[in-house]
Amino acid sequence: LEGTKRCVICKAVFRLCNPSMKRGCLIATCACQVYELKADPCGHCLIINNVNFSRDSHLLTRDGSDVDCRKLEKRFKALRFNVLTRRNLEAKVRLLRKLAREDHRALDCCVVVILSHGCQVGIYGTDGKTVPVEEIVNYFNGYNCPSLRGKPKLFFIQACGGGEYLFWLLKRIGCWA
């Protein structure tokens, strides 16, 4: 049919926003592709805000990160998330492992926000060591965190590169090819 699209999962038919758009947005969303967030709280939101880094790391202070952090806290609380904020954490993943081990069965979603410096190999802790993004995400997969299986897991990473000086430094220490 003109101006429609079929769901690839359940084969339901939907109208496109604009019939002239073959790949446009959908007016309706198929129920098989919707995550309902009915729980209260609807999930955990962990915000890691790394602002000050060790002198040895040569990473600059992330001025303005506290403003972003406060706005994120406010937004996720308004969205009915149980928000836990931690500031200036080293590249140890104990807190992430602990969150992944919690029982999320009564919750509908999990959010992890990391505000820090980053490079190609990962996200910096305040000690100047990195944690690969893949490692962070894998703590919350269906195998390691079965109570979140089939539920949305959202990762927001604001990892600034720090400009030309940081690029030079990262290249020198092997974090940048």
Give the residue numbers annotated as catalytic, written as ranges. 117, 160
Q: How far apart are CA 145 and CA 130, in angstroms?
A: 23
How many Å apart are CA 29 and CA 44, to the nearest integer?
Answer: 25
Three-state DSSP at 142 gives coil
CB 14 within 8 Å of CB 27: yes
CB 30 within 8 A of CB 9: yes
DSSP code string of 9-59: TT--EEEBSSTT-TT--BSS--GGG-----SSS-EEEEEEE-----GGGTP
